């Protein structure tokens, strides 16, 4: 994300605040080796097991993991008639993964004859992340997608006054907040649960996964205490009850981002 999205140097529109220009196509590809062993499991079988994986950084896309075909269980693959064309990489051919009675349709793709500009993709295959049951970076299971080495999450304590409001209703107020800066995203302000009015929070079944922070649990917000009849803002806040390494400082904190909710820092609206 740092390189390819959010105005990064490999995005289609890189930042203009630089004393250089990249002499090349507007749509850019950058490949570099992934430094650790990667495995993918499906139906109880190891489909991918590679310590020679590579990450492809491509303009406006998340990095994509490619592995040598020699590190893929080709006996579990079934060729399909599905094909796609990329003007930057070439024509892709697809395979499904079959284990017993389970099928991951068109889960694997490759470029048998890539363009000259992407010739280094020859002999490599990619797998749709969500098509597999589990992925492992060395022996640690990873969620969402493989982490981008150029993506950072920094968390800092702040004594500035952070307020969360829904219309004129003060939902939270704190001088013990955490400001989370994440590559390509605006700053997010997390406030301790103790500084949020608990009677304004309602349940939500929503959960999302971030490969850098962990699994987020969401809460709804009532515009008045206990008002669930037309006055609720769904999924207005999230928290990470058990954050991943590097994000532990926001455990027990809530972040509010939703239509009808605003966050102010020292009286200035930031979201």
Q: Which two tokens stand for residue 80?
A: 């399909």
Q: What is the pLDDT of residue 155?
A: 98
Three-state secondary structure call for residue 194: helix
* Domains defined along the chain, listed by start: 29-142 (2.170.150.40), 153-269 (2.170.150.40)
Q: What is the pLDDT of residue 4?
A: 84
Three-state secondary structure call for residue 199: helix
Q: What is the pLDDT of residue 184?
A: 83
For 116, phi then psi, to 5°, come to -60, -35
User: Distance between CA 194 and CA 173 in Å, rounded?
Assistant: 10
Q: Which two tokens stand for residue 117?
A: 């500009």
Mark the ranges of the chain whose per-residue pLDDT is less than 50: none
Find where tokens 């608990």 sit: 198
User: Distance between CA 118 and CA 62 in Å, rounded?
Assistant: 17
Do the beta carbons of residue 164 and residue 16 sit within 8 Å?
Answer: no
């Amino acid at each position: 994300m740092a390189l390819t999205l959010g105005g990064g140097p490999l995005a289609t529109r890189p930042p203009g605040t630089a004393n250089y220009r990249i002499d090349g196509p507007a749509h850019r590809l950058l490949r570099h080796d992934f430094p650790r062993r990667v495995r993918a499991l499906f139906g109880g079988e190891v489909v991918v097991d590679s310590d020679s994986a590579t990450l492809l950084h491509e303009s406006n896309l998340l990095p994509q993991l490619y592995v040598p075909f020699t590190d893929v269980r080709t006996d579990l693959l079934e060729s399909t008639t599905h094909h796609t064309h990329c003007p930057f990489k070439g024509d892709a051919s697809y395979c499904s993964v079959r284990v017993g009675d389970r099928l991951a349709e068109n889960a694997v793709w490759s470029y048998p004859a890539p363009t000259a500009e992407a010739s280094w993709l020859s002999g490599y295959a990619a797998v749709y992340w969500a098509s597999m049951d589990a992925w492992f970076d060395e022996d640690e299971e990873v969620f969402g997608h493989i982490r981008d080495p150029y993506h950072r999450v920094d968390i800092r304590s702040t004594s500035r006054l952070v307020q969360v409001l829904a219309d004129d209703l003060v939902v939270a107020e704190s001088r013990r907040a955490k400001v989370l800066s994440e590559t390509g995203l605006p700053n997010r302000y997390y406030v301790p649960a103790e500084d949020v009015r608990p009677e304004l929070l309602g349940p939500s079944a929503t959960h999302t996964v971030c490969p850098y922070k962990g699994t987020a649990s969401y809460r709804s917000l009532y515009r008045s205490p206990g008002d669930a009849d037309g006055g609720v803002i769904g999924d207005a806040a999230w928290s990470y009850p058990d954050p991943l390494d590097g994000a532990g400082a926001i455990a027990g904190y809530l972040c509010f981002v939703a239509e009808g909710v605003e966050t102010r820092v020292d009286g200035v609206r930031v979201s």
